[in-house]
Amino acid sequence: MGYPTNLTFGISTQPTTNPTGNYPLPDPFHTASNAGLDVVTYANDFFGIGSTTLDWTITGSSSTFACTDGLGGWALVTPGGTTTATAVYQAHSAFQFVSGQQFWYVCRIKASAVSGNKSFYFGLRAGSSANDGLWFAKAAASTSLNLVSTVGSTATTLVTGVTTAAADTWIDVAFWYNGTDLLVYLADNLVARVSAPTIGSSGTTLTDALLAPVFQITPTATDTLTIDYVMAAQETSR
């Protein structure tokens, strides 16, 4: 890592005439260059989970979601049994794909094992419902990590072979919807581009349902998911 630029007076994303124009840090909510267009962000490096009652919902009998030891902060999804399908998702949904508005998602995650019929996915979904969402998925009897879009219970694989999943090996993936196209990244390298996906509730490429981060695993033994970090962010009019 090189030396930083020392901006001793701070840095602003607002004109001086705005309320936060002399606030010495970037405005966390507004983008002044686009009037009426704000940014909403959720980011977690998992130094703490928060309340699993208010912040997260965990499905699967006796399954747990908790911080674990790891450089930089890790979280661990542990199914309650060797075949217990387990999902962890935020209690409230706050994100939505909107044509013309940017959307970002990044995650670093690993599975303890990938062989056999164990499966997992992570990304965004409509709360407790798996009928709508966009996630990276490793299907049973496969090690290919694909980007899958689900709209009204209809699943479509948008990108096949984003990477090959391996046991206890970090996967660092992201997507960026630039308002028109969906760009998919592996370790900061562009690996695929989905041109002009349509957004809506039926017969479309991306759902318009409200979404939230999700981690899901269906084990076949004592399998776990470890999450290093996750971020979801979008432009929104408000």
Residues 171-211: tens digit of each pLDDT: 999 999 999 999 999 999 999 999 999 999 989 999 999 99
Whether pLDDT at 147 is above 80: yes
**Residue 120 pLDDT grade (very low, low, confident, very high; cuts 50, 70, 90):** very high
Q: Are residues 41 and 29 in the same domain?
A: no
Average pLDDT of the chain is 94
Q: Are residues 93 and 148 in the same domain?
A: yes
In whole angstroms, give the CA distance from residue 110 to residue 123.
13
- Rounded to two decimals, the pTM is 0.94
Residues 6+ apart with CB under 8 A from 53: none
The whole domain housing 115 covers: 37-237
Q: Token digits for 173?
A: 């993936």
Q: Are residues 96 and 173 in the same domain?
A: yes
In whole angstroms, give the CA distance from residue 144 to residue 133.
19
Residues 4-56: tens digit of each pLDDT: 999 999 998 888 888 888 999 888 887 777 767 888 999 999 998 877 667 89
Q: Are residues 106 and 220 in the same domain?
A: yes
What does the pLDDT read at residue 158?
A: 98
Instruction: Indicate the residue type of 79.
Output: P
CB count in 10 Å sphere of residue 106: 17
In whole angstroms, give the CA distance from residue 96 to residue 35.
20
Residues 72-94: tens digit of each pLDDT: 999 999 999 999 999 999 889 99
Q: Are residues 11 and 89 in the same domain?
A: no
CATH code assigned at 69: 2.60.120.200
In whole angstroms, give the CA distance from residue 216 to residue 86.
6
Q: Are residues 128 and 150 in the same domain?
A: yes
Q: Token digits for 121?
A: 């996915």
Q: How many domains does the chain have?
A: 2
Query: DSSP label at 12?
Result: -
What does the pLDDT read at residue 121?
A: 98
Q: Are residues 154 and 83 in the same domain?
A: yes
Q: Are residues 23 and 41 in the same domain?
A: no
**Residue 223 pLDDT grade (very low, low, confident, very high; cuts 50, 70, 90):** very high
Q: Are residues 145 and 226 in the same domain?
A: yes
